[in-house]
Amino acid sequence: MITGIVVALPEEISTLTTKRIAKGNCLFIADKILVAYSGAGSKNAQTAAELLVSKGVTRLISWGCAAALSSLVKPGDLTLAATLIDAEYTRIDINSPWHRSTKNLLSQSIVVHTGQLAESKSLISSSKDKKQLQSKTGAIALDMESIAIAKVAKQHKLAFLAIRAIADPVTMDLPEAVNHSLNDQGDILLGKLLFFIVRHPAQLPGLIKLALHFHAARKTLKQVAEDIDNVICFSHFTPTAI
């Protein structure tokens, strides 16, 4: 039984392994764990999930960071979504023994939230927009990849988990430098970021604050990664239940 993990960013991959994975490719980081580096966004995530399925995985995990939509979740908290909501408000419920077992396991050492996880088609940078999305969906967090991976899992009747640590809180407006530095694939270009900071030094405190929040999220993911063998060893679930 092989577990496939889709990860959007190299900084998130590093919480799982020190091995280098080329974007768009996948690599075994253990005998039964195959990790795909997708890049940001739903299309990249779908392609990566389908690649993992073609390699014979029997269940899928969406791994990485998420943005808070609720004040109940803080940077460094873990979300293990029980429901995912796409941009058209279609819902996928994650109701499986694997989900319940993972929640019980991780809750012993980490704050775990099992509310709804919403999809965003693009980076949502303002606190106002986050709160509006929360009002529409009731979700506690959002990301750009999990629902696409869940849809692939559902199509192939595979079990699925969305393991996401909170980075930016709902009250935070992302620094303008972040949006300015993104390319069309949703990756931050370091050169553009540094050039923008030089021209707009007032952006630096916000970027430092965001970096601290991201560090808290990565610390949580690393803690979960230490338990990943126990997460994936659970096998008593029906294959058709995502």
CA atoms within 13 A on the CB side of 44: 23
User: In which region does residue 5 sit, left (phi positive, over 0), alpha (psi from -120 to 50) or beta (all else)?
Assistant: beta
pLDDT per residue as tens digits for the range 219-236: 999 999 999 999 998 765
Q: Which residue has the higher pLDDT, 197 or 82?
A: 82
pTM of the model: 0.90
- Token pair listed for 115: 């509310």
pLDDT at 237 over 50: no
pLDDT per residue as tens digits for the range 7-58: 999 999 999 999 999 999 999 999 999 999 999 999 999 999 999 999 999 9
Q: Which domains does the chain possess? A: 3-173+220-233 (3.40.50.1580)
Please give the DSSP secondary-structure letter assigned to residue 220.
H
